[in-house]
């Protein structure tokens, strides 16, 4: 097998993970004397804490402390929030609880079993308050208020206008409207949260370890909460992590909690979350209600759009929320060439677990609304769905394309992607299946979805939340820095560190491929170490693994760092080979003259020179022992005065097409065939790329058909185990046919874009469209469970 970039190199990660030698957070040794913590959580969605009596628990042997909100308030500050609103959250509830599962007290004991026993002896008295669960109701003046100082649950409203939407609606032949609800869910990584912390009173510093995933913009949030400067809050991330999908950002309040517990007890403290806690309180994607309407001509051209997006963040707005509402902002018109759009973004708080990062991050919510609307336009105008899509796609000659709200789409050929996907007899086959099924009286539908898939977030996108005046005052925020360091050891061995956190994406392998290619070595020759240590590794606020930043960001920094090393090694070799640096190449473990390949020296010999004989280096050259590639693309500008923002750096394209059938007996939605077309620019490792896409596809199916966090009207949480919260097993995931094309990004030297989130965005929309087609209905609530499908069919007379 070829080892070049762009080929399916087998993963370097696998041998250790296949033989039980992974090093996940709970596997790592902790200092002798480490105590273990158990969190006591609120059983109420909304209540005042009247009293906490820990006397009996504290009397037990081996129990060191029972820590409450009053304790943490004395020695820590509330977490910083992106929005200037009085929403105070500490690592434990202070005075009031606002969601079921909110941490109320922490029991610290000699082991976990003891801590859990003692927790049962802690007496907590509450006065229950009225809870508000529904986001629309929460905006009403009569609703109970979660944060009294904020005076409202609707804590942010911003209105945006791009182009002349008013005229577009006046000129329209027709206006097509829809209200779309996106539900709450999480992608529940198989490894739960782990946090370990030690406080050192000698210099008032904390040494913490957690399976945190980034972004590292959260590091200052933790340090500020602990009232220490950043360097005194050292955070280490283990070399392996059991999945994340955005979720493990939300370990950060527990890192602070463990740190405070260590300060209080004077011992290192470890906390390991269990699955029940994870489902109850770890993190959820936000639910969103979107009212969307399009001004269209009678042949289906979209002249303008209006969207009102109400996003529900649960009980608190934790950094970096409300990210999902703004991450897609510049690309809010998706794959369509629409110049006029008005957007209203509203943030509401309710008595549910706080929402945070989740794979897809705002994309699933946006595309369910937009793609359902496009299907409705076709229905209401009596046109073919695919024709309406074709009429509105951004034309290839417009790239790089400036989208109305500010995104700069780097490359693509959307019409060709669509035609390729439906070609090869694929659409004809689906239509044949549909016709046969319908003839036999069965419910069969075809769905499409168009998705522009952003990657590598502009760190300034969230400031679009502020008015231009407030942004001016706060100072500009923009860009996204990636850093990779390549090191040479005395015998010429090459090692790499990078600003990512491992979660299973195969970064070790791809970094080795990139560096090997530049240095004329093989991936096998490159050692990559990806555990992180904020005290010793280079990182910026953008560090971490999220929003598909690896391929357009870290991978480029690796390419740069290795390129810097290669250029200098050429200089050193030129002197020894007695040729000009331009004549030197790095090939097959050798450094040699291009014009006379026999004039060669081994890579390791040249690579070791700076260690053994730096005096021999060419004049003026500093020793070449390590080089850091730092990459910050200029395209990531701050929001403009008229609120246009290039929210991400690269924009891939996904076109999905599927056929589904409703089982007449069980009312289950059965996927008959699913095709997914991707253009992610240059692919660095096709095997890993397809693995990422298959993983996202399965999560898309989960969101469309199975997974939902359910809270009833009174606020009780009903999906607290894997028996109630249905994560698909192999039997629930249909096969997917993957197609690829490559429109390299002109903005990065590797031409590669992100691809691991697109199907989380496209699959719910595509399946919903297929269900709408099968049943001839307008409103499709996801997940489309048998119960919901049955209700829809009963309502529309489709139940036999």
Partner 1 sequence: MRRVNKDQKVRISLTLNGRKMSAETEPRMLLSDFLRHSLGATGTHVGCEHGVCGCCTVQIDGTAVRSCLTLAMQAEDRAVTTVESLAGPGGTLNKLQQAFRNHHALQCGFCTPGILMSFTDFLARNPKPTEEELRDVLGGHICRCTGYAGIMAALKEAAGLTNTNEPTGAKS
Q: How far is the CB of 411 from partner 1 (least distance, A)?
A: 23
Q: How far is the CB of 194 from partner 1 (least distance, A)?
A: 11
257 within 8 A of 271, measured Cβ to Cβ? yes
Please name which of 122, 118, 117, 115 lies closest in space to residue 36, comparing C-alpha atoms. 115
Does 2 contact partner 1 by CB under 8 A? no
Interface positions, 223-252, toward partner 1 (CB under 8 A): 240-243, 245
Of 602 and 666, nearer to partner 1 (C-beta) is: 666
Does 733 contact partner 1 by CB under 8 A? yes
Interface positions, 157-196, toward ligand FES (CB under 6 A): 190
How many chain residues bind ligand FES (CB under 6 A)?
Answer: 3
Considering CB distances under 5 to 8 angstroms, the limit depending on partner class, which of ligand FES, partner 1, none binds residue 10? partner 1
Does 191 contact partner 1 by CB under 8 A? yes
Q: Which of 335, 504, 720, 783 binds ligand FES (CB under 6 A)?
A: 504
Does 600 contact partner 1 by CB under 8 A? no
Q: How far is the CB of 723 from ligand FES (least distance, A)?
A: 12
Does 728 contact ligand FES by CB under 6 A? no
Among the listed ranges 362-370, 483-491, 727-735, 792-800, the one in contact with partner 1 (CB under 8 A) is 727-735
Does 664 contact partner 1 by CB under 8 A? no
Does 720 contact ligand FES by CB under 6 A? no
Burial of 784 (C-beta count, 10 Å sphere; 0-12/13-18/19+): buried
Of 190 and 723, nearer to ligand FES (C-beta) is: 190
Please name which of 701, 699, 706, 704 lies closest in space to residue 757, comparing C-alpha atoms. 699
Distance between CA 15 and CA 339 in Å, rounded? Answer: 51
Tokens 């709200």 map to which residue? 405
End-to-end CA distance of the chain: 56
Site string for partner 1, 490-529 (x = CB under 8 A): -------------xxxx-----------------------
Distance between CA 759 and CA 700 in Å, rounded? Answer: 6
The helix or strand, by DSSP H or E, that contains position 79, with its residue range, turns out to be none
Distance between CA 392 and CA 375 in Å, rounded? Answer: 12
Distance between CA 165 and CA 303 in Å, rounded? Answer: 8
Does 468 contact ligand FES by CB under 6 A? no
Site string for ligand FES, 309-348 (x = CB under 6 A): ----------------------------------------
Q: What is the DSSP letter of 553?
A: I
For the CA atoms of the chain, what is the radius of gyration? Answer: 27
Q: In a 3-state reduction of DSSP, which class is residue 188?
A: coil
Residues in the chain: 800
Does 719 contact partner 1 by CB under 8 A? no
Q: How far is the CB of 116 from ligand FES (least distance, A)?
A: 17
Distance between CA 277 and CA 115 in Å, rounded? Answer: 15
Of 189 and 215, nearer to ligand FES (C-beta) is: 189
Does 8 contact partner 1 by CB under 8 A? yes
Q: How far is the CB of 161 from partner 1 (least distance, A)?
A: 40
Distance between CA 666 and CA 19 in Å, rounded? Answer: 42
Does 243 contact ligand FES by CB under 6 A? yes
Q: How far is the CB of 688 from partner 1 (least distance, A)?
A: 7
* Cα dihedral: 520, 524, 527, 528 (round 10): 100
Considering CB distances under 5 to 8 angstroms, the limit depending on partner class, which of partner 1, ligand FES, none binds residue 468? none
Of 187 and 461, nearer to partner 1 (C-beta) is: 187
Does 34 contact partner 1 by CB under 8 A? no
Does 10 contact partner 1 by CB under 8 A? yes
Does 187 contact partner 1 by CB under 8 A? yes
Does 22 contact ligand FES by CB under 6 A? no
Of 243 and 468, nearer to ligand FES (C-beta) is: 243
* Cα dihedral: 646, 648, 653, 656 (round 10): -110
Q: How far is the CB of 242 from ligand FES (least distance, A)?
A: 6
Of 665 and 730, nearer to ligand FES (C-beta) is: 730
- Tokens representing 552 are 């357009």
Does 32 contact partner 1 by CB under 8 A? no
Q: How far is the CB of 654 from partner 1 (least distance, A)?
A: 15
Sheet holding 63-68, edge to edge: 63-68, 103-109, 35-41, 269-272, 194-200, 205-210, 233-237, 532-533
Q: How far is the CB of 392 from partner 1 (least distance, A)?
A: 30
- What percent of the residues of the chain are helix, what percent strand, and what percent coil, each to the nearest 5? 35, 25, 40
Does 275 contact partner 1 by CB under 8 A? yes
The helix or strand, by DSSP H or E, that contains position 627, with its residue range, turns out to be strand 626-631
Of 32 and 190, nearer to ligand FES (C-beta) is: 190
Among the listed ranges 23-31, 485-493, 531-539, 779-787, the one in contact with partner 1 (CB under 8 A) is 23-31
C-alpha dist (Å) from residue 15 to 11, 21, 22, 510, 684 = 8, 8, 9, 16, 21
Q: How far is the CB of 768 from partner 1 (least distance, A)?
A: 20
Longest dimension (CA), the chain: 88
Q: How far is the CB of 733 from partner 1 (least distance, A)?
A: 5
Q: Which of 2, 20, 61, 475 binds partner 1 (CB under 8 A)?
A: 20
Which residues does residue 306 pair with via DSSP β-bridges, in sequence order? 293, 342
Distance between CA 621 and CA 616 in Å, rounded? Answer: 10
Which stretches within 299-425 are classed as H helix? 323-326, 363-381, 385-392, 414-422
Of 24 and 85, nearer to partner 1 (C-beta) is: 24
Distance between CA 636 and CA 461 in Å, rounded? Answer: 9
Distance between CA 244 and CA 357 in Å, rounded? Answer: 10
Of 24 and 587, nearer to ligand FES (C-beta) is: 24
Q: What is the DSSP letter of 717?
A: B
Q: Which of 723, 787, 797, 800 binds partner 1 (CB under 8 A)?
A: 723
- Tokens representing 575 are 């002197």
358 within 8 A of 311, measured Cβ to Cβ? no
Does 687 contact partner 1 by CB under 8 A? yes
Q: Which of 735, 746, 749, 776 binds partner 1 (CB under 8 A)?
A: 735
CB neighbours (10 Å) of residue 564? 17
- Tokens representing 308 are 């009102």
Phi/psi for 691 (5° steps) reads -60, -45
Q: How far is the CB of 595 from partner 1 (least distance, A)?
A: 38
Residues engaged in binding partner 1 (CB under 8 A) = 8, 10-11, 13-15, 17-22, 24, 26-27, 113, 187-192, 240-243, 245, 274-276, 503-506, 686-688, 690-699, 721-723, 727, 729-731, 733, 735-736, 738
**Interface positions with ligand FES (CB under 6 A):** 190, 243, 504
């Amino acid at each position: 097998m070829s080892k070049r970039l762009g080929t399916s190199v087998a993963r370097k990660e696998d041998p250790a993970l296949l033989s039980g030698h992974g090093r996940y957070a709970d596997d790592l040794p902790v200092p002798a004397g480490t105590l273990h913590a158990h969190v006591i959580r609120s059983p109420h969605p909304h209540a005042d804490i009247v009293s906490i009596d820990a006397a009996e628990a504290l009397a037990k042997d081996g129990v060191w402390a029972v820590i409450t909100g009053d304790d943490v308030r004395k020695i820590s500050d509330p977490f910083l929030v992106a929005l200037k609103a009085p929403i105070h959250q500490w690592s434990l509830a202070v005075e009031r609880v606002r969601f079921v599962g909110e941490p109320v007290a922490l029991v610290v004991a000699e082991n976990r079993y003891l801590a859990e026993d003692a927790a049962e002896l802690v007496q907590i008295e509450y006065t229950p308050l009225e809870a508000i669960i529904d986001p629309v109701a929460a905006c009403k003046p009569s609703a109970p208020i979660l944060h009294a100082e904020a005076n409202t649950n609707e804590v942010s409203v911003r209105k945006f206008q791009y182009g002349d939407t008013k005229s577009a609606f006046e000129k329209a032949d027709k206006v097509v409207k829809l209200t779309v609800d996106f539900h709450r869910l999480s992608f529940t990584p198989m490894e739960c949260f782990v946090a370990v912390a030690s406080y050192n009173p000698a210099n008032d510093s904390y040494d913490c370890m957690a399976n945190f995933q980034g972004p590292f913009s959260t590091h200052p949030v933790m340090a500020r909460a602990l009232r220490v400067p950043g360097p005194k809050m050292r955070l280490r991330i283990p070399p392996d992590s059991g999945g994340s999908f955005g979720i493990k950002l939300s370990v950060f309040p527990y890192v602070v909690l463990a740190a405070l517990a260590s300060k209080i007890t004077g011992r290192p403290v470890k906390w390991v979350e269990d699955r029940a806690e994870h489902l109850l309180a770890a993190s959820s994607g936000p639910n969103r209600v979107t009212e969307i309407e399009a001004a269209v001509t009678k042949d289906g051209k979209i002249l303008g759009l209006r969207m009102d997006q109400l996003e529900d963040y649960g009980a608190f707005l934790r950094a970096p929320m409300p990210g999902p509402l703004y991450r897609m902002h510049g690309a809010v018109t998706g794959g369509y060439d629409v110049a006029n759009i008005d957007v209203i973004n509203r943030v509401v708080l309710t008595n549910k677990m706080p929402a945070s990062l989740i794979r897809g991050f705002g994309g699933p919510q946006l595309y369910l609304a937009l793609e359902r609307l496009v299907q409705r336009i076709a229905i209401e105008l009596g046109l073919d769905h695919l024709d309406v899509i074709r009429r509105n796609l951004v034309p290839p000659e417009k790239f790089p394309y400036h989208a109305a709200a500010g995104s700069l789409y780097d490359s693509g050929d959307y019409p060709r992607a669509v035609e390729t996907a439906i070609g090869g007899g694929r659409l004809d086959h689906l239509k044949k299946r549909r016709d046969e099924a319908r003839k036999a009286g069965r419910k069969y539908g075809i769905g499409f979805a168009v998705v522009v898939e952003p990657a590598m977030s502009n760190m300034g996108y969230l400031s679009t939340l502020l008015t231009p005046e407030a942004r001016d005052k706060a100072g500009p925020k923009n860009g996204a820095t990636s850093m990779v360091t390549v090191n040479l050891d005395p015998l010429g061995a090459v090692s790499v560190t990078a600003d990512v956190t491992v979660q299973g994406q195969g970064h070790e392998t791809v970094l080795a491929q990139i560096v090997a290619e530049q240095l004329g070595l093989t991936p096998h020759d490159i050692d990559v170490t990806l555990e992180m240590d904020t005290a010793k590794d280079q990182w910026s606020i953008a560090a971490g693994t999220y929003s598909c930043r690896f391929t357009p960001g870290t991978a480029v920094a690796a390419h740069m760092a290795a390129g810097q090393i290669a250029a200098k090694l050429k200089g050193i070799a030129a002197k020894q080979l007695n040729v000009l640096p331009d004549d030197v190449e790095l090939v097959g473990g050798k450094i040699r003259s291009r014009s006379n390949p026999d004039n060669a020296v081994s890579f390791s010999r040249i690579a070791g020179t700076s260690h053994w004989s730096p005096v021999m280096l060419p004049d003026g050259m500093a020793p070449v022992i390590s080089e850091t590639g730092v990459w910050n693309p200029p395209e990531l500008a701050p929001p403009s005065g008229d609120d246009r923002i290039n929210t991400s750096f690269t924009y891939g394209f996904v076109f999905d097409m599927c056929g589904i059938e409703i089982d007449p007996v069980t009312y289950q939605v059965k996927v008959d065939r699913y095709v997914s077309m991707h253009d992610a620019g240059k692919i660095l490792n096709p095997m890993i790329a397809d693995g990422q896409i298959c993983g996202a596809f399965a999560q898309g199916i989960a969101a469309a058909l199975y997974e939902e966090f359910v809270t009833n009207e009174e606020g009780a949480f009903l999906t607290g185990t894997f028996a109630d919260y249905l994560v698909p097993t192999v039997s629930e995931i249909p096969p997917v046919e993957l197609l690829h094309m490559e429109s390299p990004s002109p903005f990065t030297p590797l031409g590669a874009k992100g691809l691991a989130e697109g199907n989380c965005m496209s699959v719910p929309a595509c399946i919903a469209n297929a269900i709408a087609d099968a049943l001839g209905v307008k409103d499709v609530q996801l997940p489309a469970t048998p119960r919901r499908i049955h209700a829809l069919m009963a309502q529309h007379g489709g139940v036999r």
